[in-house]
Structure 1
Amino acid sequence: VHGVPVYDTVREAVADHGPNAAVIAVPPRALRDAAFECIAYGIPLVVIVTERVPRMDAAQVVELAAREGVRVIGPNSMGLISPGKTKVGSVGGPAADTARSFVPGSTGIMSRSGGMTTEIASLLAQQGLGVSTAISIGGDPITGSSFASLLPLFEADPETEAVVTFSEPGGAMEAELVETIQKQGTGLRIVSFIAGNFMAEMPGVRFGHAGALVQRDEDSAAAKASLLRDAGVHVADALADIPALLRG
């Protein structure tokens, strides 16, 4: 189609091209089979755009990927980008918009929100800062990668000097990140922003997307911010504070 080869199966595509990444955008109930096929044929990176994947299906995909040594980003991910090098998925939008928002630099981004991945990159660009790699890790309750599992990749990247994380209420990713920092330490400056502090004033009202399920007090934005601060993470009270915190 328009000069791009199209295949009926992943097997055929792998045989002809040996891809090192796959992007999956299918209806939620078709996701498990599509992901299983990519994993079965040894594609090492699978980015799942599909959102609201049935939890059992998502859990099975994540479990199989871990067993087979495949990195999964998502579900509900916009993808990832290393500016000036590569882009997988739709993060940043059209090429011209992506080039304006994502400027090469030394700051990594990990965000639960696809849109905020670009928003943070754009904010950094406006302040003369750039991005090494930005990852929309996915907004569904069950995702293949987390802040904690991706942090070592940024640690190993000589082009990354700091990392920004964007969180929302719900889930335990921040607690896992804190545990990793406390056990292993980190040579990176980490700046975090957690959306949803206003939710404490509106009990019983649901906000956000599929991943924003607040089940315990520890899942609230305020509790996460306190936990991260205690671990030495620099927590921004507003998005606009992020560049200054990165500069120290």
Structure 2
Amino acid sequence: MIPSLSAGTKVLVLGLTGRMGRAHAARMRAYGTNIVGGTAIRVGTAEEQDGLPIFPDITAAVAATGARAAIAMTPPGGTRAAAESAFAAGISLLVTVAEGVPVHDALAIGRAARAAGVTWVGSSTPGLAVPGATKIGFLPDVALRPGEIGLMSKSGTLSYEVGYRMAARGLGQSLWVGVGGDPVKGTRFADLLPVFQADPRTRAMVLVGEVGGAEEEEFADALTATRGAKPVLAVIAGREAKEGVSMGHAGALTWGEFGTYASKRARLTAAGARCFDNVEALVEALAQG
């Protein structure tokens, strides 16, 4: 489940002194995210970065700030250590943006997150946002607009296109979550279904999927089981993907009948979702209500 997020949510940046950490912390702060500090790439390299305190470790950062949300701007090989330290320190929501986290590390992060009762979003995610209030990650501002549509996506770039076209039509998002494109991850589409179903701000859901894995099929099963009243609109990338070839994301891999465009579209349609061939058609349907 996604913890409640607001403009007051305190957020830590793990790796704040690095190039990516500095750049995206500044953009998040400009959007209104309440960044309260972070940790350094190398221990003892700084005490402050752009007016934000730098702590020796995540435990000290949590103790000093009371933050319960964090984003890890760490390389793939350093993500497991950052995540496990964050969970031990009391972080309840962690976003990890690195793509290509080793599978064994991702499995270990998942086990640690479940044991701690923590929400892990990632890996290979642009983050999440409550438009108009806060964003944790690097979702583009031009694609964010407060509204009534819950948006979940494997693909960052494709979701930017959906969000941008929605905003251009006067449509916005209640909550936007990039679940990430790695094969092993934390929050999945099916985990978000009860979040959006229970959210009074959300009138409909948009699912931006892609070939590979069984995440869309899992969502279809959950949708069938809940028989929720809120409509689901979906677009699946990779219709022409070649078998056995990873299409961009590590998880976007089809083999035989497993993880194909046809299987995902068929399962979602059978569960009651409306599936579209392209982003333009999906956004037009949203605009029509």
Scaled by the length of structure 2, the TM-score of the pair is 0.80
Q: What secondary structure sits across from 1:158 in the alignment? A: coil
Question: 5 Å matches for 1:23-172?
Answer: 23-92=71-140, 98=141, 100-172=142-214
Does structure 1 residue 242 correspond to structure 2 residue 288?
A: no
Q: Which amino acid aligns with 1:130?
A: G
Q: What secondary structure sits across from 2:55 in the alignment? A: coil
- For the 8 Å contact 2:162–2:283, the answer to whether it is kept is no
Question: 5 Å matches for 1:182-201?
Answer: 182-199=224-241
How many angstroms does 1:55 deviate by?
0.5
Gaps of 5+ in 2: 1-48
Partners of 1:136 and 1:86 in 2: how far apart?
Answer: 14
Partners of 1:209 and 1:229 in 2: how far apart?
Answer: 24
Provide closer, same or farther for how the CA distance between residues 60 and 239 of structure 1 changes in structure 2, counting only shifts above 3 A. Answer: same
How many angstroms does 1:226 deviate by?
1.0
What is the aligned residue count? 240
Question: Pick from 219, 235, 241: which aligns with 2:259?
Answer: 219
Q: What secondary structure sits across from 1:218 in the alignment? A: coil
Deviations 1:160-190 (A, max 9, x none): 0111111111011011111111212212110
Provide closer, same or farther for how the CA distance between residues 14 and 206 of structure 1 changes in structure 2, counting only shifts above 3 A. Answer: closer
How many angstroms does 1:20 deviate by?
2.0
How many angstroms does 1:216 deviate by?
4.0
Partners of 1:38 and 1:176 in 2: how far apart?
Answer: 28
How many angstroms does 1:218 deviate by?
3.3
How many angstroms does 1:128 deviate by?
2.0
Provide closer, same or farther for how the CA distance between residues 8 and 215 of structure 1 changes in structure 2, counting only shifts above 3 A. Answer: farther
Q: Counterpart of 1:95?
A: none
Q: Which moved more, 1:23-32 or 1:6-15?
A: 23-32
- For the 8 Å contact 2:130–2:175, the answer to whether it is kept is yes
Q: What secondary structure sits across from 1:219 in the alignment? A: coil
Partners of 2:111 and 2:271 in 1: how far apart?
Answer: 29
Provide closer, same or farther for how the CA distance between residues 69 and 229 of structure 1 changes in structure 2, counting only shifts above 3 A. Answer: same
Partners of 2:66 and 2:208 in 1: how far apart?
Answer: 33
How many angstroms does 1:31 deviate by?
1.1
Q: Which moved more, 1:214-223 or 1:41-50?
A: 214-223
Q: Which amino acid aligns with 2:237?
A: A
Q: Which amino acid aligns with 2:250?
A: A
Which has a greater percent of helix?
1
Q: Counterpart of 1:20?
A: 68
Q: Which amino acid aligns with 2:138?
A: S
- For the 8 Å contact 1:110–1:136, the answer to whether it is kept is yes
Scaled by the length of structure 1, the TM-score of the pair is 0.93
- For the 8 Å contact 1:236–1:245, the answer to whether it is kept is no
Does structure 1 residue 8 correspond to structure 2 residue 50?
A: no
Gaps of 5+ in 1: 93-97
- For the 8 Å contact 1:218–1:224, the answer to whether it is kept is no
Please give the root-mean-square deviation of Cα atoms over the aligned residues, in Å: 1.3
